[in-house]
């Protein structure tokens, strides 16, 4: 009889441990600048009370969109962010590391929009500080999943004289950035992959979802992926960013969120537009998985 009781207690204890492990949230950190916190759009302060802004600036941003998507998918993520306008990964490592030097299950890192503020297209400091940050996070949790978020082409860098990509197609900057991000990721086995957001912007244009040139007006039935400065993203662009994060981190098809997804409704994105952006994200993520399985 006593043996049966002890066996029952042991089984109950194992079940409790299993349930606790299942209920424990996945801890995710987003590091970046205004491209992550959603500058020049309602996304900036969106649902800030649902995430942890490690700088105390009251930012919701793309991480808050990601948080809502995970809730809608029935997933449990504890979401934190450390962001600052116009900054590089070097800045975050040298001046903010004490705010995020802890164990995480997932980390998403975003570099300056032209890779280097002074030498556009130069990835050397990006590589150096992505490596330093990856080492820091792996020291805290050797199983951490680290992704790099490759950002988008900037129309102001493409269509205006003096832009580093002036005279090239709008897709060129996004392709160049992605190539640099892949180089950084491929050069460090501690980095698990690249989230190809800039290529998703290009795909949205190719699919006729988005207009390629905001300087000459937005075609009827298309969206503008960029904010008024033709530099930062618009609400649509940040929504696509969060969809790409969601699909890459969770492995879920962004289309599962549906046409009537809650954030889209709250931010003024129509059901047709939400579905179109979810489809863009799914197709780009599927292609990324085929090209770079890891």
Annotate 56-110 with three-state secondary structure: CCCCCHHHHHHHHHHHHCCCCEEEEEEECCCCCHHHHHHHHHHHHCCCCCEEEEC
How confident is the model at residue 22, as a pLDDT? 55
Q: How far, in Å, CA of 153 to CA of 173, rounded?
A: 5
211 within 8 A of 219, measured Cβ to Cβ: yes
What are residue 19's DSSP bridge partners?
Answer: none
Give the three-state DSSP class for 23: helix
Reported as a single tens digit per residue, the pLDDT across 63-77 is 999 999 999 999 999
Q: Name the stretches of the chain with pLDDT < 50.
A: 5-7, 9-21
Q: Would you give the DSSP letter of residue 40?
A: T
Q: How many CB atoms lie within 10 A of CB 70?
A: 22
Indicate the pTM of the whole model.
0.92
How confident is the model at residue 8, as a pLDDT? 52
Strands 52-53 and 26-32, how do they pair? unpaired
From 179, 188, 53, 69, select the one nearest 127 (Cα to Cα).
Answer: 188
DSSP letter string, 203-268 = HHHHTTSB-S-GGG---TT-B--B-TTSSSB-HHHHHHHHHHHHHHHH---GGGG-TT-HHHHHHT
All structural domains of the chain, each given as residue ranges with its CATH number in brackets, are 24-291 (3.40.50.1110)
Q: Which residues contact 280 (CB under 8 A, 6 or more apart)?
A: 200, 203, 204, 207, 209, 240, 243
Q: How far, in Å, CA of 146 to CA of 143, rounded?
A: 9
* Biggest distance spanned by C-alpha atoms of the chain: 86
How confident is the model at residue 23, as a pLDDT? 76
Q: How far, in Å, CA of 245 to CA of 145, rounded?
A: 13
């Amino acid at each position: 009889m006593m043996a049966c009781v002890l066996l029952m207690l042991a089984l109950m204890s194992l079940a409790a441990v299993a349930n606790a492990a299942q209920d424990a949230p996945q801890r995710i950190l987003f590091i970046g600048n205004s491209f992550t916190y959603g500058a020049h759009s309602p996304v900036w302060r969106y649902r800030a009370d649902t995430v942890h802004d490690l700088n105390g600036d009251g930012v919701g941003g793309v991480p808050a969109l990601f948080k809502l998507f995970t809730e809608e998918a029935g997933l449990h993520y504890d979401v934190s962010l450390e962001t600052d306008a116009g900054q590089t990964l070097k800045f975050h490592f040298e001046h903010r590391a004490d705010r995020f030097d802890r164990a995480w299950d997932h980390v998403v890192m975003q570099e300056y929009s032209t890779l280097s503020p002074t030498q556009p297209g130069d990835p050397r400091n990006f590589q150096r500080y992505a490596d330093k940050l990856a080492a820091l996070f792996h020291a805290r949790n050797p199983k951490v999943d680290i992704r790099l978020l490759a950002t988008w082409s900037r129309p102001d860098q493409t269509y205006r004289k003096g832009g580093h990509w002036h005279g090239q197609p709008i897709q060129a900057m996004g392709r160049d950035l992605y190539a640099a991000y892949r180089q950084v990721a491929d050069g460090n086995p501690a980095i698990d992959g690249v989230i190809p957001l800039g290529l998703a912007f290009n795909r949205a244009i190719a699919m006729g979802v988005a207009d390629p040139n905001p300087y000459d007006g937005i075609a009827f039935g298309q969206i503008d992926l960029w904010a008024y400065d033709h530099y930062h993203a618009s609400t649509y662009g940040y929504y696509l960013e969060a969809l790409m994060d969601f699909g890459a981190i969770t492995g879920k098809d962004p289309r599962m969120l549906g046409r009537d997804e809650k954030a889209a409704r709250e931010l003024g994105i129509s059901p047709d537009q939400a579905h179109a952006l979810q489809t863009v994200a799914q197709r780009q993520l599927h292609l990324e998985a085929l090209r770079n399985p890891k």
